[in-house]
Structure 1
């Protein structure tokens, strides 16, 4: 089977334009107010509680369609090897194997977290009403309200439920373009980095922030709120920029966009600015060809290794005590098909795997209602999704973030009952 034609070149072009525009707007706090874009401002901003006492939730989006069957290989399922004769992960190469699943060797930097019980995986997860369109799947993944008319992003709804007033409570880090996952009434920001977050054109000779503050001082609250939120975010960020940041515990972040973004997330958390939710992106997972075998220099190996280095550095930087109050989850718009194609890659699929990392995670294992990869168990050639990804996050929201009912964040979704996290 040859690689499918799916419009992925358009995806690459779109994401490149997004990055280019992001760099252009990286110093524009107005563009960085993600929660205020096309949604208006909710009164929850003015009447929210003072503090949020749950875990900081860090959401790492693996853009392009992550191949969970490569990262968390079902080595105990014989149909895995039948479907992928050229790219399946050999049993002899997995790490942390339990006879049913095994981790890709490129995840070795995370092995201490896995062995220490602070890293876990959930397999056969997916979205309802699956689609193989990157754009439709990303939109639904970030809206997370299938079958409803809700248009906001689920992290924005989560942020609203925390009741936090902190101006840096919600941050999309590493790209100054507003993130759809944060779209909605809560006041969130996107920033290219902590050190580059400022108003475009701001200088000693051009005090734009001061002029903005004066301009809106007597404006009606509804009109003034976006500008005042921008000013509050800039003010909260200023002390951080004044002091050079050195990662703790000998942590060394890789010189990648993801490494830089996670370093800044750690910086915000440890600075006690009230960060409740952060969104970070990692791209280049759309591997229709040349996914490669499990050795250095191959595409999947190298991508997984870069992500593993960044996550391991983040965990080391935070330290055991810091990670007690942090949960990181990975999501992706869809998985890949079970069978490899004629280009030694895998096309758009459905069921996938998620990683969960944090002090409250009951790790060292793969959680799954495994449907098997037998031909009769597949969903149109794909791994069937037996667990809604929102249910996994829902269990985290209840046990680690102090939420009760989930309807305000994920309408009509009950949390998973895997027991994958300890209650705070």
Structure 2
């Protein structure tokens, strides 16, 4: 008999609004938002094939990495979680110390083929248990700076190809702080929402577009430049809209926002209009109650959806997966010791999952610090999360790590092939 799930989370996470964490110049397409704060227009940049594609999957609400990738070799884990610990004999892809939660079974083929890896005990340089503040700190990735420029925007800024098509936040219609900054990007609730509102089959004379072009075609300032950039981006995005929605290679996505978003990512990759950075948010991982067991609970539900959606993405992509790398991370982890409500409170260190191109997979990376069993025990951070991301941007994009992650004292992780 399991407790009745409450679905409760802390008020801060429930109230988080990230709309103020980015800047944009134009909003055009219903629920879609096209942003450009520079004078470079998409029509001037044109389109080009993507060199590689980075998908950043944010597990919102502070996922419990100790449940997703279980340190079964640390006896303190089982002492601290008499009800919530995942039994060692239920773990998948198990080595002498770690194993995957059984809900991650759809990802085991990626693991076995060397295309999925985990890096444990990662996180911010110092604990930050506020969802809002930690999200912004993780996504700015520039400690001490007052500039509102995210690490993905800095990555985009290294390329002279300055098109809004280069970066896309998909699924919510808003963009994370990681994309905020001077480089143009897009955000949309779905692929088909990248359109000009009113420019449809009923607008037979195409008056909507022509009127906007007439008003803004020669307008000075960032707003005029943004509108022109957005109009050109809608046109240049057409090959993606022409790409069939039906998944390829027998892929089946789970129902829900994450499945829809990753199906859109596959369609985007096939359309190939030069998008190289995609962000996707997933779930409510803020589980102060009802984390549950391998048989019931909120963690099993969220982990199952995430695993099925990621596995479907790489199946759908087929050979195109050779250019796609996915990184899954969360703003912080959970406490080691379970609470009285079958839940876990805000913690510190966490696990990062990496899948796809360039990943040194089938392995657990990182340095394990050991667990404590006091009420306030944390998984301590031994690897700065930026060191993991640094390997990704350097190996996949040839990026300057000091530019993308200013001030980083980099550690060698070994999770990406040089």
Other structure's SS at 2:278 match: strand
Structure 1 pair 373/15, CA: closer, same or farther in 2 (3 Å)?
same
**Structure 1 residues 148 and 10 mapped into 2: Cα distance closer, same or farther (>3 Å)?**
closer
Aligned residue for 1:360?
358
Closer, same or farther in 2 for the Cα pair 1:259/1:111, shift >3 Å? same
CA distance in 2, matches of 1:75, 1:243: 45
What SS class does the counterpart of residue 195 from structure 1 fall into? helix
Partner residue of 2:335? Answer: 337
Cross-structure match for 1:299: 298
Asked if 1:200 is matched to 2:197, the reply is yes
CA distance in structure 2 between the partners assigned to 1:154 and 1:26 by the alignment: 26
* CA drift at 1:44: 11
| Of 392, 401, 414, the match for 1:396 | 392
Q: What does residue 34 of structure 2 align with?
A: 33
The verdict on how the C-alpha distance between 1:42 and 1:349 changes in structure 2, with shifts beyond 3 A counting, is farther
TM-score by length of 1: 0.88
Mapping for residues 46-65 of structure 1, pairs under 5 Å: 54-65=51-62
Say yes or no: does 1:84 pair with 2:81: yes
Question: What's the offset of the Cα at 1:249?
Answer: 0.6
- 1:257 aligns with 257
2:144 to 142, 147, 151: 147
Q: Give the structure 1 partner of residue 64 of structure 2.
A: 67
Q: Which moved more, 1:70-79 or 1:121-130?
A: 121-130
> Which residues in structure 2 correspond to 1:66-145 (within 5 Å)?
66-145=63-142
Which residue in the other structure is 1:274 paired with? 274
Structure 1 position 51, deviation (Å): 5.4
TM-score of the pair, normalised by structure 2: 0.89
**How far apart are residue 288 of structure 1 and its match?**
0.4
CA distance in 1, matches of 2:116, 2:253: 19
In the TM superposition, what are the counterparts of 1:168-187 in structure 2 within 5 Å? 168-187=165-184
Residue 316 of structure 1 and its aligned partner are, at CA, apart by 0.2
**Cα deviation digits, residues 64-98 of structure 1 (max 9, x gap):** 00100000000000111111111011101100110
Structure 2 CA distance, aligned partners of 1:26 and 1:223? 12
Matched, 1:188 2:185: yes
Q: CA deviation at 1:269?
A: 1.0
- The reply to whether residue 308 of structure 1 matches residue 307 of structure 2 is yes
Residue 407 of structure 2 corresponds to residue 408 of structure 1: no
Measure how far apart 1:100 and its partner are.
0.5
Is residue 416 of structure 2 the alignment partner of residue 421 of structure 1?
yes
Moved more, 201-210 or 275-284: 201-210
For residue 200 of structure 1, report the CA deviation from its aligned partner.
Answer: 3.3
Q: Could you tell me how far 1:127 is from its partner in structure 2?
A: 0.7
Unmatched segments (≥5 aa) in structure 2: 1-7, 21-26
Kindly state the Cα deviation for residue 199 of structure 1 after the two structures are TM-superposed: 3.0
Deviation at 1:242, TM superposition (A): 4.0
Deviations, residues 126-171 of structure 1 (Å, cap 9, x unaligned): 1123211111111111111112233211111111113333441100
1:104 offset after TM fit, Å?
A: 0.2
Deviation at 1:43? 6.5
Q: CA deviation at 1:8?
A: 2.0
Q: Number of residues paired by the alignment?
A: 402
Task: Say if 1:174 and 1:420 are closer, same or farther in 2 by CA, change over 3 A.
Answer: same
Mapped to 1, the partners of 2:88 and 2:19 lie a distance apart of 41
Corresponding residue SS for 1:32: strand
Q: Secondary structure of the residue that 1:162 maps to in structure 2? A: coil
